[in-house]
Amino acid sequence: MHPLMLVVVAVATLFAIYNQRFWGLWAEVFEGNYPSGLMFAAAFFSLCCALLGGLAFRSVLRPLIAGLFVVSAVTSYYMDELGVVIDREMIQNVVSTTWTEGKHLVTPPFVFWIVIAGIVPALVVLAVPLSRRRLWRTLWQNALFSTLCVIGFVGLLLSDMKDYASILRNRGDLKASFQPLAPVVESVRFVAMLSRSRTLPFVAIGLDAVRKKAGNVYDLPTVTVVVVGETARAQNFSLGGYGRDTNPRLAAEDILYFENVSSCGTSTAVSLPCMFSRYGRRDYSHELGVSHENVLDVIQRSGMRVEWIENNTGDKGVAARIGYRQVTYAEDPEFCGEGECIDGILVKEVAKLLPKIDQDTVLVLHQIGSHGPSYYLRYPEAFERFKPACRTANFSACTQEEVVNAYDNTILYTDKVLQDLIALLSAQDDLATAMLYVSDHGESLGENGLYLHGTPYFMAPDEQTKVPMLFWQSQAFADSVGIDDGCLKSKASAAYFHDHLFHSLLGLTAVETAERNPELDIFADCGRNG
């Protein structure tokens, strides 16, 4: 077979087999004007042919196409089955994923699809005999083929440029679904991002940070526990009005629930470093995150002890310069029976630490929380209240109701963990204690065909961006730091973002620095640091 013929056949196969989501969105965009839609699709068919045609050398073409088939099989499965969008942030998530986390995504249907739609076509391509061409003939034929394809691409787009430009500008979901071009482009963007971040100088911030002394703030050591939730969405917290009673224990506590909080991102790889960064959602980037200190560094610089306790897949660099301990794979028969620990282990770790604390301290607890798709592994059997619950990572084997049931059970268990932490902190007569909980991002549970998270923010549903946040303080903490509950309650219904966390933690811990913006400090005007 002539190499350029293989290019055309391969691109046609990629269009036909691996682009179900693209064609679904295409039909939606071009409804009532399918001739224009066909020309639009033909333009991108030509573009793919041009790109592959330029690389149609006998020694590289077959391995390249085989690799594209395998990659497209993987990405199309998650796009079609879970509604996942493969963008730069999703690739960042994949690269930072551990085997423990990733193994839950390797289900029998996934393996079957990869074999049938990835490995088998790849083997067929590798077995196709290609005709030999002299180098000069290869070069001019490839160049001519690619040039004609580029001309076709440009000409087809120019035929209705006004409408096509509007579609390309406003329908990012259509562009992001196009296989294999979108994943390849996003992979290049990811590599470029990593390359840029490695050359940036590291910047220390908050060099002027000091503790603000007022009243009796130092009568007792203060312990501020920051709990970073995982994949908890506000829509399923009964504290915020959800129809199911998923927060029975917290409802009985004297807590303050913030009902309108939006995340910085839709994935842990973005939200976690962003929420502790001084840069808000609009300004944050991976490059800024890795090249600048965060709020925990500033608090530590003020003289407080800061420690991170990890029960997830990592701190994403946030805890690189503070105390750190990981309990994710601890050998604890009570909480770690499935090879991963549920969040009760965090309460146990805090209980070990509290008697040893003799200075003002911030403890950050990173939950496994409601991490999917194996929701059923995130809570003990006694907390499977909502039944029947999906007990597999393969959502296609469960109804949407079963998926929601399993997810709600994770929220019910988080309710228990947070209440246990409050009880533990309340019992400390020699410490002034407080707890702030906020989730990193939300989760889709089948709404509009979407599952899990990681959808680009511009098109992400509220289920992935609205997160629960709550605050509790002991009387000793309120007296020491001077935060007025009544004042906070009057502000609880306002709209907040992860952007507020950096400044609010500085206010909560009484750290004075020029980095703190009182307008973004939730506790400002409600205490002595206002």
Q: How far apart are CA 319 and CA 272, in angstroms?
A: 11
At 261, phi and psi to the nearest 5? -120, 135
Residue 269 located in a structural domain: yes
Kindly write down the DSSP assignment for every residue of 360-427, as one continuous string. -EEEEEE--TT-SS-GGGSS-GGG--SSSPP-SS-GGGS-HHHHHHHHHHHHHHHHHHHHHHHHHHHT
pTM of the model: 0.89
Same domain, 136 and 267: no
Number of domains in the chain: 2
- Residue 220 CB-half CA count within 13 A: 19
Is there a single domain that holds both residue 193 and residue 218? no
Say whether both 242 and 391 belong to one domain. yes
pLDDT in tens, the chain (530 residues): 999 999 999 999 999 999 999 999 999 999 989 999 999 999 999 999 999 999 999 889 999 999 999 999 999 998 988 888 888 888 888 887 777 777 888 889 999 999 999 999 999 999 999 888 888 899 999 999 999 999 999 999 999 988 999 998 888 889 889 988 899 999 999 999 989 988 899 999 999 999 986 444 447 999 999 999 999 999 999 999 999 999 999 999 999 999 999 999 999 999 999 999 999 999 999 999 999 999 999 999 999 999 999 999 899 999 999 999 999 988 899 999 877 899 999 999 999 999 999 999 999 999 999 999 999 999 999 999 999 999 999 999 999 999 999 999 999 999 999 999 999 999 999 999 999 999 999 999 999 899 999 999 989 999 999 999 999 999 999 988 888 889 999 999 999 999 999 999 999 999 999 999 999 999 998 875 44
CB-CB neighbours of 518 under 10 Å: 13
The parent domain of residue 121 ranges over 3-197
Q: Of 150, 172, 197, at which residue does a domain stop?
A: 197
Q: Output b/e per residue, 288-298; b: 16+ Cβ within 10 A.
A: bbbbbbbbbbb
Same domain, 183 and 293: no
Residues 183 and 269 in one domain: no
Full DSSP string of 136-188: HHHHHHHHHHHHHHHHHHHHHHHTTHHHHHHHHHH-HHHHHT-TTHHHHHHHH
Q: If you ran DSSP here, which 8-state letter would residue 342 be given?
A: -
Among the three residues 171, 197, 223, which one is the final residue of a domain in this structure? 197
The DSSP string of 445-489 is ESGGG-EES---GGG--HHHHEEEEEEEE-HHHHHHH---HHHHH
Q: What does the pLDDT look like over 459-515, one tens digit per residue?
A: 999 999 999 999 999 999 998 888 888 999 999 999 999 999 999 999 999 999 999
Is position 202 within any domain? no
Return the CATH number at 449: 3.40.720.10
Final residue in a domain of this structure, among 137, 162, 197: 197
DSSP state of 219: S
Same domain, 214 and 191: no
Q: Is residue 488 part of a domain?
A: yes
Q: Do residues 427 and 318 both lie within one domain?
A: yes
